[in-house]
Structure formats: structure tokens, C-alpha cells
Amino acid sequence: MKNKKKILFIKNLYQNPKFITNDIDILSKEYSVKLLNFKSRKNAFIIFSLMYQFIYLLFNIWKFDLIYIWFADYLSFYPVIFSKLFSKKSIICAGGYEATYIPEINMGVFTNASLSKSVRAFCVRYSLKNCTYILPVDETLIEHTNNYIYSDTPGKAPLKDGIKEFIPGIKTEFRTMYLGYDSELFKKPGNIAKEKSVVSAGLIVNDDEFRRKGFDLLINAAKQLPDVKFVLIGFNDENLDKHKNNVSSNVELHKIVPYSKLIEEYCRAKVYAQFSLFEGMPSSICEAMLCECVPVGSTVNGIPKIIDGCGFIAEKRSMVEIVDTIEKAINAEEALGKKSREHIMKLFSYKNREDALIKLTRSILS
């Protein structure tokens, strides 16, 4: 239809998780959506991506009624500037990286450790302060105290983070909007039986992500639970080679796998583990719970809200607690897995996200 409102949807070219493509699908039902990918590059080469984006916006921003951006970063800087110049509304979805800084695992953007990092932090601050709405995927990305991350370091204070911690006095309106999941896509067939196994998935491209996702803890837990299989998914080639010879015989390490294979592993495993140091609203645990996994995880960001009586939570980064929660989940009745599925379907459904997002965009564009 010619009179459809137009949305410019901006994301990183190399980031295509289901939660981002879901938003494209949702918005496309009601609006004309143009996708503008931002090609992230290392070091000074980022300038070429910024130049391309600047030229595109200079000649095309007037065509759009709303600018919708996934993550605050370099890619959000010019879109927010042009939105203000041309009196357009802009939305930034905050997933987590733009809400923290954890130097031990090189997580987050709010650091001035180098010139390039200072520029990046400036771009993020400007974007978040000047967009129309920020849509964090969990309330803890606004303000949060992380009591888990340093719980294994005597005398170290908890980590305070969240966007308001790094941008005091920010006036941009926050609208927490949980991610939504397709319960028909993530569904255990009746002919698949649960195994005595633990699965966990991430994107393990370096040592920092290996530790952030708690894979180090799971490999150690496997040594104490030799009769339980551990399946860790998402290694790139370099990190797979680095770790594959340093695990016990009950541990399987996998590269990044297609969704069909990931769902298959969710459906087989009795337990899904998410002992992360930091998260926003982790999708993998929600997807696994839809496949009737009993969840275990750390008391970090959105994880306790996701688990919420359907599994077991470790309050401290302690091997005693980690092993204990896994054992409880392995020995739990299978009815707990079915309860997990019902919980995600009720609170974090695709329909819930769709309704909330369409309601907001209609109010902006009416």
C-alpha cells in the first residue's frame, strides 16, 4: 500500500539472531521496512562504513517516518543525529553491551582505555541520550547491581551497571520490552526422550566470551559429574581447537550449528545451563525451556526472571553451588521441564513482543 508508514531498520550486517529478524518480520506486517546493514570493521576501516551510512542518510532520511536501531554503537550515531536534524523519531533496542563495562572480560563500551574506545563510548552515549526511546530487553539494563560476578573474589564489591550508571541524568524514555519466542519452532517432539545431559550455547570466539558464558565452570563441573553428559555449543574453529583436548570424556564441544541442530540438542538435554557473568535477556535459555529443559543459571540480569521457579539458581560463582544446581536439575521430575515451557509461553511469547512493539510504533506514528 502506498500510504504505509516507512521504517528504516538499522542493524549490524554480521548480527542476524532470531530476536533481530523477528522484529523485522513484526514491523513488516504493518509498515514498509527498509533494512540498512552496517558493516562493522576493525580499527580505522570503520570510517568507510560510517561514510557510506552518512551518505545514505543524507539523501534518504526524509523518506522515513521512524528509525529503528538494534544496539547502540557506531552504527547508531549518525542515524540519531539525522533523526534529530530532520525531526524523525528514533528507537534503539538495548541488548546489554551498551549497558555495562567489565574490564576483566572486555565486556561493554564504557571505557576510555584507548582513543578508539573513547570514540565508541562517545557514540553510544550520544545515541542513547538523543534517541526518542530506548527499548532494553530487561529492566536490569537500566539500573542493576551484579552480586554474582565477583562473588568468588573476596573483598571485591559488587558490580554496579546499567545505562543510568554510565549516563547519569539521562532523560530519554525507557520502555522495557522483553524478547519473544516462537513456541511452535522451539518444541520437543513427543518421540524424543530426555537424556541425562546438560546443554549450553553461546558464541565463543575468544577467552572472554568463554568465561562470560560460564563454559569454564561447566567444564569443571563435568569432571565432578562423570555420569552426566555436557554439550557446549558455539565455538569458532580457533577456540574449538584450543579447548577440545582439555575436557573430560563426558564433554562434547560443537562449532556454531544451524538452528535445526540447536533445537535437536535442546530437545534431548534434561538441563540447560546459563552461568553467565553478564547478560541482557539471554535467548538460548528461553529457547531451551520451550523445549522442556530444566534451567539452571546465575543470579545475573534477566536470568532469575526467566527461570523463576522453573529451575535452580546459583547465587555465587562457586563450584559447590554450580554442581549442586546441576544435580538438582538432573534429578528433577520431568514435569518441571513442562512447567518451564509454559512459563516462557506465558511471559515471553512472540505474540507478547509483537503486540508491545506494534502498540508502541502506532503511538509514535499516529
Identify the residue whose cell numbers are 527498509: 34
Edge-first strand listing for the sheet containing 229-235:
251-255, 229-235, 195-204, 269-274, 294-298, 312-314
Residue 221 Cα distances to 218, 266, 326, angstroms: 5, 19, 9
Question: Which pLDDT score, from 0 to 100, does residue 313 have?
Answer: 98
Instruction: Could you please state the CATH topology (level 3) that the domain comprising 6-180+350-365 is classified under.
Output: Rossmann fold (3.40.50)
- Beta strands (DSSP E) in 121-172 are 133-136, 144-146, 159-161
Question: Which pLDDT score, from 0 to 100, does residue 271 have?
Answer: 98
For the chain, the structural domain boundaries read: 6-180+350-365, 195-347
Predicted TM-score (pTM) of the model is: 0.94
- CATH 3.40.50.880 for the 195-347 domain, yes or no: no
Q: Do domains 6-180+350-365 and 195-347 have the same CATH topology?
A: yes
Q: How does pLDDT run across 307-317, given as a tens digit for each residue?
A: 999 999 999 99
Q: How does pLDDT run across 10-41, given as a tens digit for each residue?
A: 999 999 889 999 999 999 999 999 999 999 87
| pLDDT-derived band at 112, boundaries 50, 70, 90 | confident
Q: What does the mean pLDDT of the chain come to?
A: 95
Q: In the numeric block, which cell numbers belong to residue 342? A: 509454559
Q: In the numeric block, which cell numbers belong to residue 227? A: 555420569
Spatial neighbors of 103 by CB under 8 A, at least 6 apart, are 111, 113
Q: How does pLDDT run across 255-301, given as a tens digit for each residue?
A: 999 999 999 999 999 999 999 999 999 999 999 999 999 999 999 99
Residue 2: pLDDT over 70: no
How far the first Cα of the chain sits from its last, in Å, is 17
